[in-house]
Amino acid sequence: MHILIPDDYQNAVRALDCFAKLAGHTVAIYHDTMTDLDTLAARLEPADALVLIRERTRITADLLARLPRLKLIAQTGRGTTHIDLAACAQRGITVTHGSGSSHATAELTWALILAATRFIPQEVARLKAGHWQGHFGRGLHGRTLGVWGYGGIGSLVARYGHAFGMRVIVWGREGSLSRARADGFSPALDRDTFLAESDVLSLHVKLNAETRGLVTAADFARMKPDALFVNTSRAELIEPGALVGALQTGRPGFAAVDVFEQEPILGADHPLLKMDNVICTPHLGYVEKDSYEGYFGQAFDQVVAFAAGNPV
């Protein structure tokens, strides 16, 4: 099979142990992001199979109409909101997906919390510039961690907070609240209380049509002026412009984000990157070797099974 892998920003896929699973197949890998339909269609046209890295490339009906050879899309991870599944079904294109570990993103979330509350990036920059202490950070012990969404990642973040001696409160759908209760964590009394009491609020909600724009400007206005808002889920969960506006008005006082509306961001072309009270990372949550081995190992197994006539 001719297998094509787009959007390998870091040229990481060939270095994975699991890449050996594709031996005997023709593999092409691209390291940039292409959104122009004509260019993208020309690039993908030779492919019998696509292996997609999370949601980096959108697969639309218009694009599929120009890929007559395509038989399989193997998605790394569970998400398929970026794939027109109805158009795939109409064209007889098989779509597979896998699962992934929650630990990499949960660990990155906690790294951002520590970095933001102790001003670690700013202090590193000051020291390298020849200066000494400049910021007065805050500890986490005894403060309140709000976890919005108690799934695989949110539950890990809650446990990390407990290990740091934080009071943990949870908000989300009834399923999240039930799971939190079963694990010994307290749901907030209501949404307003959750927002008002959180010293650190970490968002862990899946993006879909119902949750798009879930967090509003009014929500941010209820947060403390010294609170930290953390988003390692999806930028589209936030009402457009609401986070930038909230940080400018001072509620919350700080943010740490790993996700953006349009990725990748080049040339520092995003308002959050220009704000002193925000720490930004380039969507590193799942970008970790063990995580990649798991995601791609599953996807490559699905490709090999399909090629052998035994689709998963």
How far is residue 4's CA from residue 50's CA, in Å, rounded to a whole number? 5
- Would you state the structure tokens that stand for residue 96, as one six-digit string? 């597979």
> Position 44: which residue type?
L
**162 catalytic per annotation:** no
Cβ-contact 169, 197 below 8 angstroms? yes
- Would you state the structure tokens that stand for residue 294, as one six-digit string? 């798991």
Kindly provide the b/e burial profile for residues 172-207, where b requires at least 16 CB atoms within 10 angstroms of the residue's own CB.
Answer: beeebbebbeeeebebbeeeeebbebbbbbbbbbeb
Segment holding 168, helix H or strand E = strand 167-171
The one catalytic residue in 143, 234, 251, 270 is 234
**Complete edge-to-edge strand list for the sheet that includes strand 94-97:** 26-29, 2-5, 49-52, 72-75, 94-97
The one catalytic residue in 54, 143, 179, 283 is 283
Q: Is 199 helix (H, G, I), strand (E, B) or coil?
A: coil
Cβ neighbours, 10 Å, residue 28: 13
The one catalytic residue in 107, 263, 288, 293 is 263
**263 catalytic per annotation:** yes
φ, ψ at 178 (rounded to 5°): -65, -45
How far is residue 237's CA from residue 251's CA, in Å, rounded to a whole number? 18
Q: Is 27 helix (H, G, I), strand (E, B) or coil?
A: strand
How far is residue 312's CA from residue 293's CA, in Å, rounded to a whole number? 19
Q: Is 80 helix (H, G, I), strand (E, B) or coil?
A: coil
DSSP string, 119-149: THHHHHHHHHTT----------TTSEEEEE-
**234 catalytic per annotation:** yes
Active site residues: 234, 263, 283
